[in-house]
Structure 1
Amino acid sequence: MADTLLLLKRGPGRPMWLRVRKSRPKLMLSRRSRRRLGPLRWCSRRRWRRRLLQAQAAGVDWRESACKGSRAAAPAPEAWRPKNAAPRPAPSPAPAPARRGPAGGPTSPVRHLGPGRALLLLPVEQGFTFSGVCRLTCLYGQVEVFGFTISQGQPAQDAFSACTHSHLTINAVHYSVPEKSKKEMKREARTLLRSHLTLEDRSWAMKNFSPLCSVVLLERVKSSTVDFISSYLGLSDVFLQESPTLQINAQYLALRSVGIRKEKRKKGLHLTESALAALEELVHASCEEVDGCPIILVCGSQDVGKSTFNRYLINQLLNSISCVDYLECDLGQTEFTPPGCISLFNITEPILGPPFTHQRTPQKMVYYGKPSCKEGCENYIEIIKYVFSSYKREAPLIVNTMGWVTDDGLLLLVDLIRLLAPSHVVQFSSAQSKYMPGLSPEYVERTDGLYTKSKSKARNRGFELPEFAENLEFSDEDKECPLIFTEHKLIGVHSEFSFRKTERNRESHNRILRDLAVLGYLGQLLAPTSKVLGPFHGLVPYQVPFNAVALRITHSDVAPTHVLYALNASWVGLCRILDDVRGCTEGPILLAQTPICDCLGFGICRGIDMEKRLYHILTPLPPEQLRSVNCLLVGAVAVPHSVFKSQHGLEGTIPYVTTDYNFKLPGASEKMGIREAQEIPEEKIHPKPKLHRKIS
């Protein structure tokens, strides 16, 4: 009897469960999607499967459905409904404004306007954090993106929100308006939106409009740099990542059509109180005409947010003044150029993205050739003096420094403060960073630098540096008075950035960022209207005769017989020296020491023709600038491995790549330019195209 009761309490048998499972709707996934499902937990896998089925029942693809212009959310499949149930009505394309987000705050209404366009309504003091690339235009109101304020009537701005840095946030700013009623504000907004939106879209915007609301137009942007970087294996998710836990609804489809995705607010940038106070003080000092143009030097150890602070400060300054000068002294993580450069820039446009998305042409640049100066500090200082001499003191100057602040790096920083004479020194510190003494005027005055000695205070509360006077160039008015560097004001900023780097993975992470900067520069090789991305060996290189340029390996001593081996398939700086090297010999012309000269750009030595004695150079520089190039500098900055092994469109034998290589051969070391056993610049050279561009 007990056994009979036990059998009655049991659930349905296994065959019944199998029948129920087989009756469920089938979901066809690719191999890549099945691999993504594997490491997920059971509940996450089930939730993702349900959302994929919703998108499948709607007849759209969950990744590409936004490109088809679908506005409605995916309805539930018919297999989940009772047989006698009435069909559900189609959901409204516009989300209700009272919907609440994950954090409990109001969700920003988003409307799909067609392929590649969406409308975003932001209530006052609300933010919208996103990842991806888009072009945003403020149609009504005022918004702030990474410190730069965009008001109605201003030009559109391209925003790049990548996973390598903090995501960008569009914040609605409280703008001042005259005493107007809500009806008058809606009438004014409807008039401004008339030239951008249809009648139906304007009606939706007015229905969800609230007082002091900002209306932003989001558009898909075509960027050759983004397309070029995303074409490489492993880099396709740099700007836009897919997640199986996302909810596929009308807002998701509208944003995906633009090329962005909404992110959690905590993934955006959050500045500390000390950083906000420092920004306010520096902006106020830069806008005053009494003290002239300030020189702001930003220093601190690695990974404390110096570069992020500099970008935010530049954007805030551009809200009030027309331009800002920027001196790059960090060799490893440069802002506007490939790594290994010391450069001076005049910035007139906001910076809304990571460094590899805004490579720009400098006013003056010198190619140092290495991502660190630990083995050549004296040459590093000389190059900074050479570049700093071009600063005309017509705009505020922001100086970015290295994260090497221990031992000789700290002494080098003291020399740099004495050389540049900044009016403000912003020193970053954090709980995770290494100890660094406060660089107050008293500390700098009594501390010996690496190349300078301490000086006592003069009557004018400054100190003279005659050792730097002969190396700096000033106007006639400045030459009449003695070279005196006044005291600076020290501003301390405590950083609370979340550290994702450790001592173990910091070098690999920094190498990835350097490779992205090189790829961002190489993206200029492709035309903005190019729809097909091809390999580099399909592009037409320039022909440069041996006797037209001089050669120098900056980071290592290489025998003259091996210089061409090190040059082939290498990253080269295209420089201009004062000496005339044309027609000296039949070439190649080798320099005995590394010159301090202007660098006009960069390129890749595509190949070397020994019979015709020609270099084949790939570079985005225009021909009018290439005519003044007479020196090629090869440094420790290498062409990324992905360029050799993962270019889009490569077929058959890959140029310069081999697996049969012996590192025990003389000269087959890292100093010769070989990074891995997969790269060799001589074994397999791809046939050169028949057509060449020649620079005489």
Structure 2
Amino acid sequence: MVRSCETIAYDSVTSPPPVALVCGAKNCGKTAFSRHLLNILLQRYQKVAYLDTDVGQTEFTPPGFLSLTVIDQLTPDLTIPCLKTPEREYCMLKGSKKPVKTELPLVVNTPGWVKGIGHDILVDVLKYIAPTHVVKINISAEGKNLPSGAFWLDEDHKESVNLIEVSSARQDSFKRSVLVQKDAGLLRDLRIMAYFRQCFPSNLNITTIKELAHALTSHPPYEIPISSIKIKHLHCQLVLKILKIYLHALALEREIPEDDARLLLVSRAYDNQRLRFGTGPGRP
């Protein structure tokens, strides 16, 4: 593992800084490898970006977050949860077909969902990010591993990529690479506690989820003016299209009378949607 990390960090051919994506089956050691790689990269670079796409077992945020965090300090103990504030200014530009190039080395940690839809998502992520290095961690149970080679590339792909395949560091009595047994639920609870624990003074004794919940309910809530809240309807055009098709089907294809309650209801809903998102009232 150390040699693989050093290969990525000190690859003299890599310019701009490396973009390393770590993938493999669940609990094979992706997070441990990623954090160790962070420490190695920080020996050469002042800052390293960490893109966490494993929302089930996040590294620097509470569970459920897709985050990009900039790290500027070594982590001496990789077993201790470490929460950090994500850097929101580092993001993909809206409408851009290519990822934004940064001047920082980037480590991408991925979830262990590598079969079915999970495999398809991983392929899309690999194609979109286009990493300079891909680290694929394997275990002895071949059926749980990702396909061999650069499985995400098309046959006509010409750009080169450094593929590093390593075996899981954890081994059984027969020296076979095996999965790391982790209590994912407990890890999520610990990160949630660590996150919300920041709301309270360090001398306040909170050791259980129940104590945390009680403390949170006693904590003064944040107040946000209603005027500062904006709701954006992401699928308004789709709703309009569906209502238009439905209205057309009722009025023309099924020849329902104009005073029919169903037709009036759909027509009113369509007019309301057009007033909010379209070009004004009226039937098509």
Q: Same fold (TM over 0.5)?
A: yes
Q: Secondary structure at the match of 1:431?
A: coil
Alpha-carbon distance in structure 2 between the residues aligned to 1:439 and 1:355:
31
How do 1:49-88 and structure 2 match up within 5 A? none
Alpha-carbon distance in structure 2 between the residues aligned to 1:418 and 1:312:
25
State whether residues 28 and 137 of structure 2, in contact with CA within 8 Å, keep that contact through their aligned partners in structure 1: yes
Q: Secondary structure at the match of 2:113?
A: coil
Go from structure 1 to structure 2 and tell me whether the alpha carbon gap of 1:539 and 1:412 turns closer, same or farther (over 3 Å shift): closer
Map of 1:414 onto structure 2: 123
Q: Secondary structure at the match of 1:398?
A: strand
State whether residues 343 and 362 of structure 1, in contact with CA within 8 Å, keep that contact through their aligned partners in structure 2: yes
Give yes or no for the alignment of 1:492 onto 2:165: yes
Alpha-carbon distance in structure 1 between the residues aligned to 2:221 and 2:116:
45
2:221 corresponds to which of 529, 541, 546: 541
Q: Secondary structure at the match of 1:492?
A: strand
Identity %: 30
State whether residues 430 and 496 of structure 1, in contact with CA within 8 Å, keep that contact through their aligned partners in structure 2: no
Q: Secondary structure at the match of 1:308?
A: helix
Q: Secondary structure at the match of 1:520?
A: helix
Q: Secondary structure at the match of 2:156?
A: coil
2:41 corresponds to which of 317, 320, 345: 317
1:400 positional shift: 0.8
Alpha-carbon distance in structure 2 between the residues aligned to 1:276 and 1:532:
39
**1:356-389 CA-partner distances (Å, limit 9, x unpaired):** 73211111289xxxxxxxxxxxxxxxx9776x98
1:514 positional shift: 1.2
Higher helix share: 2
1:296 positional shift: 0.5
Go from structure 1 to structure 2 and tell me whether the alpha carbon gap of 1:540 and 1:355 turns closer, same or farther (over 3 Å shift): farther
Give yes or no for the alignment of 1:425 onto 2:134: yes
Map of 1:456 onto structure 2: 156
1:293 positional shift: 1.1
1:321 positional shift: 2.0
Structure possessing the higher relative contact order (Cα contacts under 8 Å, 6 or more residues apart): 2
Alignment RMSD, CA only? 3.0
Q: Secondary structure at the match of 2:152?
A: helix
Map of 2:147 onto structure 1: 437
State whether residues 17 and 104 of structure 2, in contact with CA within 8 Å, keep that contact through their aligned partners in structure 1: yes
State whether residues 68 and 86 of structure 2, in contact with CA within 8 Å, keep that contact through their aligned partners in structure 1: yes
Alpha-carbon distance in structure 2 between the residues aligned to 1:438 and 1:384:
29
Structure 2: unaligned runs, 5 residues or longer = 172-178, 236-284
Alpha-carbon distance in structure 2 between the residues aligned to 1:290 and 1:536:
47
Map of 1:338 onto structure 2: 62
Map of 1:402 onto structure 2: 111
How do 1:117-516 and structure 2 match up within 5 A? 275-285=1-11, 288=12, 291-353=15-77, 357-364=81-88, 392-432=101-141, 434-440=144-150, 443-446=151-154, 456-457=156-157, 461=158, 486-497=159-170, 499=179, 501=181, 509-516=183-190
Alpha-carbon distance in structure 1 between the residues aligned to 2:56 and 2:64:
6
Map of 1:521 onto structure 2: 195
Letter in 2 for 1:444: W
Letter in 2 for 1:543: E
State whether residues 135 and 164 of structure 2, in contact with CA within 8 Å, keep that contact through their aligned partners in structure 1: yes
State whether residues 364 and 390 of structure 1, in contact with CA within 8 Å, keep that contact through their aligned partners in structure 2: no
- In the superposition, the TM-score normalised over structure 1's length comes to 0.29
Alpha-carbon distance in structure 2 between the residues aligned to 1:339 and 1:319:
28
**1:423-473 CA-partner distances (Å, limit 9, x unpaired):** 111000011461321242xx4333xxxxxxxx614xxx3xxxxxxxxxxxx
Q: Secondary structure at the match of 2:153?
A: helix
Q: Secondary structure at the match of 1:404?
A: coil
- In the superposition, the TM-score normalised over structure 2's length comes to 0.67
State whether residues 336 and 355 of structure 1, in contact with CA within 8 Å, keep that contact through their aligned partners in structure 2: no
State whether residues 323 and 348 of structure 1, in contact with CA within 8 Å, keep that contact through their aligned partners in structure 2: yes
Alpha-carbon distance in structure 2 between the residues aligned to 1:412 and 1:344:
18
Go from structure 1 to structure 2 and tell me whether the alpha carbon gap of 1:531 and 1:338 turns closer, same or farther (over 3 Å shift): closer
Structure 1: unaligned runs, 5 residues or longer = 1-274, 367-382, 447-454, 462-485, 550-580, 582-589, 595-696
**1:260-306 CA-partner distances (Å, limit 9, x unpaired):** xxxxxxxxxxxxxxx23212211212xx3763211111000101100
State whether residues 51 and 69 of structure 2, in contact with CA within 8 Å, keep that contact through their aligned partners in structure 1: yes
Go from structure 1 to structure 2 and tell me whether the alpha carbon gap of 1:362 and 1:300 turns closer, same or farther (over 3 Å shift): same
Q: Secondary structure at the match of 2:224?
A: strand
State whether residues 21 and 134 of structure 2, in contact with CA within 8 Å, keep that contact through their aligned partners in structure 1: yes
State whether residues 23 and 110 of structure 2, in contact with CA within 8 Å, keep that contact through their aligned partners in structure 1: yes
Q: Secondary structure at the match of 1:358?
A: coil
Q: Secondary structure at the match of 1:543?
A: coil
State whether residues 93 and 100 of structure 2, in contact with CA within 8 Å, keep that contact through their aligned partners in structure 1: no
Alpha-carbon distance in structure 2 between the residues aligned to 1:337 and 1:343:
7
Go from structure 1 to structure 2 and tell me whether the alpha carbon gap of 1:390 and 1:436 turns closer, same or farther (over 3 Å shift): closer
State whether residues 133 and 164 of structure 2, in contact with CA within 8 Å, keep that contact through their aligned partners in structure 1: yes
